[in-house]
Amino acid sequence: KKCVFDVPLDYLPDKYKSVGTVVMSRFGQSEGEDQIPKIAVKQISIPPLDDVMKLRRDENFSLFIPKHRQIAARLIDIFLGMKTVDDLLSVSVYARDRVNPYL
């Protein structure tokens, strides 16, 4: 089943902020079809991801490199430290376009 995340504009990376509202308004507006449900992403204070973002998005990732293992462990700790599922969803959405995708 289709669904759309309703992401706060503050969570979008800088390169998408200018087109964020346009892109988000395109989904769920199909004529003749049922409305696509939107999942609201609540805005929380995001924990610092500076350590995790030391590994750039375009760099290779390997668990055999100790520094990469530490970074992956830090990201796991951040995710496991969230108190609710909504908080986990918020941090995950925020990290999606900022963190190395292989982490």
* Distance in angstroms (rounded) separating the CA atoms of residues 103 and 76: 9
Is 42 contained in some domain?
yes
**Looking at the 3D structure of the chain, how many domains does it have?**
1
Is 52 contained in some domain?
yes
Q: Which of 74, 99, 83 is nearest to 11 (CA)?
A: 99
List, for residues 65-99, the tens digit of each pLDDT value. Answer: 999 999 999 999 999 999 999 999 999 999 998 99
pLDDT at 28: 53
Is 102 contained in some domain?
no
Is 13 contained in some domain?
yes
Higher pLDDT: 30 or 84? It is: 84
pTM of the model: 0.81
Q: Are 46 and 87 in contact (CB under 8 A)?
A: no
pLDDT at 27: 61
Is 103 contained in some domain?
no
Is 54 contained in some domain?
yes
To 5 degrees, how large is the angle CA 34–CA 36–CA 38? 145
Residue range(s) defining the domain that contains residue 63: 4-96
pLDDT at 31: 58
Is 29 contained in some domain?
yes
Per-residue pLDDT at 32 exceeds 60? no
CATH number of the domain that 75 lies in? Answer: 1.20.1370.10
Residues in the chain: 103
